[in-house]
Amino acid sequence: MNTAVLQSGFLYSARVRLIRQTEVSECGLACLAMIAGFYGRSIDLATMRRRFTPSLRGAPLSSLIKIADQIGLSPRAVKLPLEQIPNLALPAILHWDMNHYVVAEKVSAGKVLIHDPAGRSEWLQTSEVSGHFTGVALELRPNETFEKKSERETLRWSQLWSRITGLAGAFVQVLVLSLVLQVYVLALPYYLQIGIDTALPALDHDLLSVLALGFGLFTVFNAAASFLRSFVILAAGSALGFGIAANIARKLFRLPLEWFQKREVGDILSRFQSVTPIQKLLSEGIAATLVDGVLALTTLVIMFFYSAKLALVAITAFFLYFVVRLVSFSLERRAQEGSIIAHGKEQTALIETIRGIQTFRLYNRESMRHSMWQTLLTDAVNANIRVARVGIWQSTANALIFGLENIVTIWLAIGFVMDGGFSVGMVFAYLAYKGQFLEKTGNLVDQATAFFMLRLHLERLSDIALEPDDRSFGSTENSMTKLKGSIELKNLSYRYSPTDPLVFSDVGLRIGVGEHIAITGPSGSGKTTLLKLMIGLLEPMSGDVLIDGMSLDQFGHKSFHNQIAAVLQDDNLFAGSIADNIALFDEQPDRDAIIAAARAAAIHDEIMATPMQYETLVGDMGSSLSGGQKQRVLLARALYRKPKMLFLDEGTSHMDVANEARVNASVKTLGITRIVVAHRLETVASADRVLYLDQNGLVSVETEHVFSDGGER
């Protein structure tokens, strides 16, 4: 579908369909998808992402060249000055702001049409482009392997309300009650006609009273139907909204960790909130649309019964209004999408600022951060203004079209009365029916627009609903298999994305039951990544992790996770009491086990010294505790599980020497397998075996060699 872009008050057709990036580093993929679509290969970003996993570190031009070749586009990288952009084979990808990519589609009158996957499509003056363009561009043309086809995967409606019961019955009830209400709407103008044409000229008070009584009872019946319909819609809408939200949340909580790491929290929240307009339209809009359609057709027949000429005037007005909404739909959709994304970015900045207020306070950066957030808020407000502008154009066209239609209708109708073809009561009745017709057909157009606008929300929810689950939910589960505690790594290799260099390759390691292993090495060598691969939180590029001689997939991720525990660098405490956090909000916490775990983590005495002891609230993300206390509570949480294997990633780095020694001695008595990533001498020295990881691989070393010069080797 062509998009429309505003240039100096005029609409210019754009053949490139803007695709907005979802992950923070996938602007290059979005640009390639846009140009592929321009040449006839419609491919969505989710499909691109699954085939060519982006790296959080961004994609160099060389990566885009490789990906372009794989989707049938011949790339040509060029370096050129700004004034040579018109000579590019457009559309082309421009390197933007040193860390971003955009698509330039056309150049006209000193302006360039830019499609920004992180923003919107707009015409920029050459001087504006100069402030962003780095001088590097990528031309793309279809080669002999290019295929015109659609590779778009969309979310089906049925996937949203699976496992929700009772919706069909509620929908039928709403439909029947809505039809009852419309009977009243159809009958009311006829009451007006009879009163004016029959009762008024004859001064027949009895007839007028009977009419009033009959329609009064009809009104009471109508009010009761409206009351029941509102409650049915409330119940059905609540059930539908809860069901859809529960289904999406269930899917969200099952996604791989990498999915969350590559997205901003505000964007995730805004996607999840797309449930609300879908729920509202499905619970109220569909029944209303069907009823409005029936009523519009019925009133149209009645209008033709009164006068075909007057009915054609109303139909012409409706057709013009329909054309206005059709022409403006593309602009409306783009404006709505831009507004959602802008608000997501603003919310992300606000959440990050609140979370990091201590850092901004320390470095006196509150004003800077406020200014940055205010800029994003301005973008969000401007996005709302663009939505409102489209609405203003639509409402103005609506007022003009139907205002002129009303004038023409009254002129013709009164002329009919003068000619003797119409009575005064018929004029009033026709105007009432005409008003109902235009109102209902207008509602039909609005509901149809809203329905097609839901594709925007479905596309946003698709990023959650269509992503594959974390592999731990698909592996074979052997719940009866008991973990002994040995682990082996066979030729393990890992890279963050297909375009990134290897973090490490062909790592081999065997750890026996009850063995205490310390892994050390320079920062950035991949120690934390290696630990997460052992735990099963990340998936290796190649190689395997064996648990008690079985592959992790065969042993079962869930089974394995139920029998191990870990304290990782980015672990958090949650709002609640210390006991809640140690038991991780267990539905039936074992108080004795909580205290025993706290004793083993050397935190019991400090907890008992507080006024509320184990019911002491930890604050948001553990803000009421010191770094060492927080780390020991996290360790207590791990020990509460009575694990067969314990993984620690700098799990004692914030503790003082005395507490660290107490913790090491306490954990040693458990006799379980322990794998520790550490830099501190005290932690490394307590291990049975020390392994050193660097660019050369994983090797076994002596402790004194690691710290021979007073620090790491």
Between 54 and 698, residue with greater pLDDT:
698
Going by pLDDT thresholds of 50, 70 and 90, the confidence category of residue 94 is: very high
Q: Which of 215-219, 576-580, 627-631, 708-712 reaches the highest mean pLDDT?
A: 576-580
pLDDT band at 712 (very low <50, low <70, confident <90, very high): very low
Q: Looking at 66-70, 219-223, 669-673, 696-700, which range is the least confident one?
A: 219-223
**Which residue is catalytic, options 5, 14, 27, 302?**
27
**pLDDT, tens digit (0-9, with 9 covering 90-100), for 395-420:** 898 889 988 988 888 888 888 888 77
Q: In this predicted structure, what is the pLDDT of residue 138? A: 92
Stretch 253-268: mean pLDDT: 80
pLDDT at 165: 57
H or E element at residue 123 = strand 121-125
Tracing tokens 């009850």 back to the chain, one arrives at 514
pLDDT of residue 170: 60
If you average pLDDT over every residue of the chain, what do you get? 80
Q: In whole angstroms, what is the distance from residue 468 CA to residue 704 CA? A: 46
pLDDT tens per residue across span 340-365: 888 888 888 888 888 778 778 877 88
CA 153 to chain centre: 16
pLDDT at 477: 52
pLDDT at 288 over 80: no
Distance in angstroms (rounded) separating the CA atoms of residues 24 and 379: 18
The answer, yes or no, to whether residue 217 has pLDDT greater than 80, is no
Has residue 499 got a pLDDT over 50? yes
pLDDT at site 211: 60
pLDDT reported for residue 158? 64
Interacting residues of 63 by C-beta distance below 8 A, sequence separation 6+: 28, 499
pLDDT range class, residue 103, cuts 50, 70, 90: very high
pLDDT more than 90, % of the chain: 6
Task: Choose between 659 and 309: higher pLDDT.
Answer: 309
Tokens matching residue 709 = 């010069």
Residue 519 has pLDDT above 80, yes or no: yes
CA distances from 354 to 347, 357, 617 (A): 11, 5, 20
Q: What is the pLDDT of residue 713?
A: 38
pLDDT at 568: 87
Q: What percent of the chain has pLDDT over 70?
A: 80
The answer to whether 524 and 696 are in contact (CB under 8 A) is no
pLDDT band per the 50, 70, 90 thresholds, residue 228: low
- Average pLDDT estimate for 12-22: 74
- Any idea what the Cα angle at residue 45 is, between residues 41 and 46, rounded to 5°? 115
Per the annotation, the verdict on 27 as an active-site residue is yes
Closest CA to 307 of 439, 187, 427, 191: 427
516-520 vs 542-547, strand pairing mode: unpaired
Tell whether the model's pLDDT for residue 183 goes beyond 80: no
Query: What are residue 301's phi and psi, to 5 degrees?
Result: -60, -45
Across residues 275-303, what is the average pLDDT? 73
What pLDDT band is residue 379 in, cutting at 50, 70 and 90? confident
pLDDT, tens digit, 9 for 90 and up, residues 119-174? 788 888 888 888 889 989 999 999 888 888 887 777 766 666 655 555 566 666 66
CB burial of 256-283 (b: ≥16 within 10 Å; e: otherwise) equals bebbeebbbebbbebbbbbbebbbebbb
Instruction: Tell me which of 531 and 708 has the higher pLDDT.
Output: 531
- Please name the residues in contact with 702: beta carbons below 8 A apart, sequence gap of 6 or more: 690
Q: Report DSSP letters for 489-524, one per residue.
A: EEEEEE-SSTTSPPSEEEEEEEE-TT-EEEEE-STT
**pLDDT at residue 595 tops 60:** yes
Q: 467-479: per-residue pLDDT in tens?
A: 888 887 765 555 5
* Residue 587's pLDDT band (cuts 50, 70, 90): confident
Place of tokens 């010069």: 709
Question: CB under 8 Å to 206, separation ≥6 — which residues?
Answer: none
Crossing angle of helices 61-70 and 27-38, rounded to 10°: 40
pLDDT over 90 (residue 185): no
Q: What is the bridge-based pairing of β-strands 10-14 and 3-7?
A: antiparallel
pLDDT at 325 over 80: yes
